[in-house]
Amino acid sequence: MNLFDVYPINNIAIVKARGSYVWDDKGEQYLDLYGGHAVISIGHTHPHWVQRIEEQLKKIAFYSNSIKIPLQQELATKLGQLSGKEDYQLFLCNSGAEANENALKLASFYNGRKKVVSFTKSFHGRTSLAVSVTDNKNYIAPVNETGNVIFLPFNDGQALEDCFAKNGKEISSVIIEGIQGVGGINVAEDSFLKKIRSLCDEYGAVYIADSVQCGYGRTGKFFSHDFAGVKADIYSMAKGMGNGFPVAGIIIAPHIKPRQFQLGTTFGGNHLACAAALAVLEVLESEKLLGNAVMVGKYLKEELKSIPELKNVRGRGLMIGFDVPEALKDLKKNLLLNQKIFTGEAKPNVIRLLPSLALKKRDAEDFIEAIKEEIAAMAVQEA
Ligand SMILES: Cc1ncc(COP(=O)(O)O)c(C=O)c1O
């Protein structure tokens, strides 16, 4: 049997990982500034995370949601404390798409409406409803097409106001990433998020903060929406939540009340997933990783801004993007092949940095040196 060939992959087999480093099957070491797509939050194979999972595995790995799983409440309590959303309610699932799927569905159950507002360049996942609010026609199969989604320009307050003035009573929810990831590290303006909050309040719509990529401390605040000083009605979370163990969830504001059987999942919230997620929160707290993300992120941004070839350096904390000119289109590839550094990208010309929140300043310095070296080498080739 062959694999279903849907991923354009690098020809590298990673067999070992630790902190911000990974090693391939030939023993070559790489600095990981991509974090397996923003997933590695506390560092690869963090000893506390490994220990928590190992200990849990020896006790019980899985049982369904038909019994009490005290670890779920432990996780909810810790998440409430660290995110400052202690009065919210936690529903656990398995992936970012599933989290958004449940968020959108719950919003519709809540207000009985069908329309969803989403934004240009958004990415919310591949499942049916999540993909229908994703701004990429290539991902939307005919069966996912729905007339219920309104796409508006990102950060355009006037367009949002006009849309609510016209359709306000039909709009169930507004879904927005605090910083667009796949779309190329586009930061939602604080004033725009405030406007979403006030229009949702005025018209009875639900504000869904997709925090799958930009959440869980990556920006230096627990949710990037916190920068705007607003509270969303539902936050979706995934990637960094398990540091590579598949676990995701939504947290739901207290005014949205649950009803039995309204949402559900077989695997979501299992014992092993909760142990992994608790380990992540414990390390985020004990190692003060949100502060580290701010400090190392600031250093990286300042240094990148001083490199004249790189344009429009942007982002928050350790979610950073910059534009690469056509002459340097091979920069990402060369960083990997020549400097052994993984970075992320966003089409057509953005390099994305999504490292572990435990990235050391020393590693950031090595990266800056490496990128300058590669740019210089490419300039020589050009000449
Ligand atoms: C903002 C955002 N939402 C949702 C998703 C989907 O998450 P998953 O791939 O875990 O389904 C992603 C994945 O990249 C994402 O970046």
The domain 288-382: what is its CATH number? 3.90.1150.10
How would DSSP label each residue in 67-79?
A: S--HHHHHHHHHH
- Starting at the earlier edge strand, list the strands of the sheet with 206-210: 89-93, 248-252, 234-237, 206-210, 171-177, 115-119, 149-152
Is 247:71 a contact under the CB 8 Å cutoff? Answer: no
| pLDDT at residue 322, rounded to an integer | 98
Is 114:268 a contact under the CB 8 Å cutoff? Answer: no
Spatial CA neighbour of 197 closest among 224, 221, 225, 163? 225
100-111: pLDDT as tens digits: 999 999 999 999
pTM of the model: 0.98
User: What gap in Å lies between CA 95 and CA 268, rounded to an integer?
Assistant: 9
55-91: pLDDT as tens digits: 999 999 999 999 999 999 999 999 999 999 999 999 9
Neighbours of 348 (CB within 10 A): 10
- Classify strands 234-237 and 248-252 as parallel, antiparallel or unpaired: antiparallel
264-301: pLDDT as tens digits: 999 999 999 999 999 999 999 999 999 999 999 999 99
Please list the residues that pair with 286 across neighbouring strands.
none
User: What gap in Å lies between CA 158 and CA 22, rounded to an integer?
Assistant: 46
- Is 44 or 380 the better-scoring residue by pLDDT? 44
User: What gap in Å lies between CA 368 and CA 281, rounded to an integer?
Assistant: 29
CA of 180 to the centre of ligand 1 (A): 11
User: What gap in Å lies between CA 210 and CA 156, rounded to an integer?
Assistant: 18
C-alpha dihedral sign at 230, 259, 82, 317: negative
CA distance from start to end of the chain: 48
Atom of ligand 1 nearest to the CA of 182: 16
Residue closest by Cα to atom 3 of ligand 1: 124
**Is residue 380 over pLDDT 90?**
no
* Distance of alpha carbon 362 from the chain centroid: 25
Instruction: In the chain, list all ranges with CATH 3.90.1150.10.
Output: 288-382
Atom of ligand 1 nearest to the CA of 211: 1
User: What gap in Å lies between CA 377 and CA 369, rounded to an integer?
Assistant: 12
**Is residue 383 over pLDDT 90?**
no
CA of 175 to the centre of ligand 1 (A): 13
| pLDDT at residue 19, rounded to an integer | 98
Is 242:44 a contact under the CB 8 Å cutoff? Answer: no
Spatial CA neighbour of 347 closest among 98, 135, 33, 176? 135
C-alpha dihedral sign at 285, 70, 40, 85: negative
CA of 96 to the centre of ligand 1 (A): 5
The two structure tokens encoding residue 91? 């529903």
For ligand 1, which residues put their CB under 6 angstroms from it? Answer: 95-97, 100, 123-125, 177, 181-182, 210, 212-213, 238
Is 124:175 a contact under the CB 8 Å cutoff? Answer: yes
Spatial CA neighbour of 230 closest among 208, 256, 257? 208
179-223: pLDDT as tens digits: 999 999 999 999 999 999 999 999 999 999 999 999 999 999 999
Q: Where are the beta strands (DSSP E) in 103-230?
A: 115-119, 149-152, 171-177, 179-180, 186-187, 206-210
Please list the residues that pair with 91 across neighbouring strands.
250
User: What gap in Å lies between CA 212 and CA 217, rounded to an integer?
Assistant: 11
CA of 213 to the centre of ligand 1 (A): 7
Is 335:341 a contact under the CB 8 Å cutoff? Answer: yes
Query: Which class does domain 47-286 fall in?
Result: alpha beta
Instruction: In the chain, list all ranges with CATH 3.40.640.10.
Output: 47-286
| pLDDT bucket at 350, cuts 50 / 70 / 90 | very high
CA of 325 to the centre of ligand 1 (A): 27
The two structure tokens encoding residue 28? 């070559």
Is 154:120 a contact under the CB 8 Å cutoff? Answer: yes
| pLDDT at residue 382, rounded to an integer | 72
Q: Largest Cα–Cα distance in the chain?
A: 68
Please list the residues that pair with 206 across neighbouring strands.
173
Is 78:54 a contact under the CB 8 Å cutoff? Answer: no
C-alpha dihedral sign at 215, 93, 245, 274: positive
Residue closest by Cα to atom 13 of ligand 1: 125
Phi, psi of 366 (to 5 degrees): -60, -40
